[in-house]
Amino acid sequence: MVYLLVKRTINGSTVRYIERLASRQFDSIEDAFFVDCGLSYDGWNTGSTTITLSGGTTYGYGEEIDLTASAALFAYPATTDVGDEIVYVDDGIRYAIRITSTSSTTAAKGIPSKTIPAAYRSARTDWGFARSTMAGLSHLEGQTVAILNDGNVEPQNTVASGSVTLSVPGVVVHVGLPIIADMETLDLSISGTETIRDKYKTVNKVGWQVENSRGLWFGQDFTNMVEWKQRYDETMDEPIQLYTGFFEEVIPASTGKTVTICARQSDPVPVSILAVMPRVDIGGA
């Protein structure tokens, strides 16, 4: 583990925080931690508490059903759990039950996002508690933060009163200062032949070899960039998965004697670029 003493300006004040570098080793995109000075929330149940669903007919969207926990779980008599969700995931499909009310620490009512399969209505431990508000962020008060919510990139938000509100409740959430990582190649050249540095060059397509990557932007400068359109065969409920391999994308073309390729990652997800292969048309001097 690498620990750092970091001097920051937070909410107009100079502070010093002890921070630890996060590991780049993770099993799923939901666990990717690519923010600075951040905190994580993991609401997946790791104990023996079960939740049983009852009181429904179809257990589908719009029908209010009962949720009964085997141990104290809900914030009763407080109503802070209202709007949060109990979540199950089956083969990439997310079943969420939005809490509408609580009547004790073990009883609540909620509305499913879609029909809950019969297998998930009995007592189960494989549930997650998705929260709509991330608290405990007073160390980032007033700062604009990046958010990864169940593997999905949320719009950046500003911490107020030590918390941020999510667009949708999340079971695994990472919140912290955004990181912008830029890369620019040297001026394009070709080895083993005459120099092309003094010739006009046009690039309108670039090939990329990447490993466990997502969320890349690229172009011939940092002003005119295009986004890597990446979604392939994920289910509707799944986040975009990390990709390893080769892909090509068209970029805004320009012609000049000095041509470079730029890449940018501004989302809280990983990118590892192994090779850049521009398609170059060479003109006269």
What pLDDT, on the 0 to 100 scale, is given for residue 30? 95
Using CA atoms, how far apart are residues 74 and 189, in angstroms rounded to an integer?
A: 63
**Do 189 and 270 share a domain, yes or no?**
yes
Same domain, 195 and 143: no
Same domain, 12 and 33: yes
The verdict on 90 and 195 lying in the same domain is: no
Look up the CATH number of the domain holding residue 115.
2.40.10
Domain that holds residue 96: 51-126
Question: With b meaning 16 or more CB within 10 Å and e meaning fewer, what string describes 105-139?
Answer: ebebbbbbbeebeeebeeeeeebbbbbbebeebeb
Are residues 55 and 39 located together in one domain of the fold?
no
pLDDT tens digits, the chain, 285 residues: what are they? 899 999 999 999 999 999 999 988 888 999 999 999 999 999 999 999 999 999 999 999 999 999 999 999 999 999 999 999 999 999 889 999 999 999 999 999 999 999 999 999 999 999 999 999 999 999 999 999 999 999 999 999 999 999 999 999 999 999 999 999 999 998 877 666 666 776 788 888 999 999 999 999 999 899 989 999 887 777 778 899 999 999 998 988 778 788 889 999 999 999 999 999 988 888 755
Q: Which of 115, 149, 177 is the last residue of a domain?
A: 177
Number of domains in the chain: 3
Same structural domain, 35 and 145: yes
Quick one: 156 and 20 in the same domain?
A: yes
